Amino acid sequence: MERAIAVFGSIIVGGAALYQLKNEFGVRGLDALVTKVLLGLMIVGCVLAFFAALNILGNFGSTAS
């Protein structure tokens, strides 16, 4: 149940962040640059959460079979 919520939540939040980042590309200034960086980091975090929820990123360091 938690993984399903994480998958759908990461898709929704990542999509909203991607949409806002698309709208920010024409804006100039330092505050807009900071907003673009933070939105980009949010998208990266959502991609990582998506892969972790699907167990693609999990158990890389595990040696047990």
Quick: pLDDT tens for 5-57: 989 999 999 999 999 999 988 889 999 999 999 999 999 999 999 998 888 87
Q: Report helix angle 2-24 to 30-53, nearest 10.
A: 160
Q: Which two tokens stand for residue 64?
A: 């047990």
- pLDDT interval class at 64 (50, 70, 90): low
Our count of domains for the chain comes to: 1
Give the structural domain span for 14: 2-53
DSSP 16-64: HHHHHHHHHTT--SHHHHHHHHHHHHHHHHHHHHHHHHTTSSTTSS---
Residue 23 lies in a domain: yes
Q: Is residue 22 part of a domain?
A: yes
Three-state secondary structure call for residue 65: coil
The structure's pTM equals: 0.79
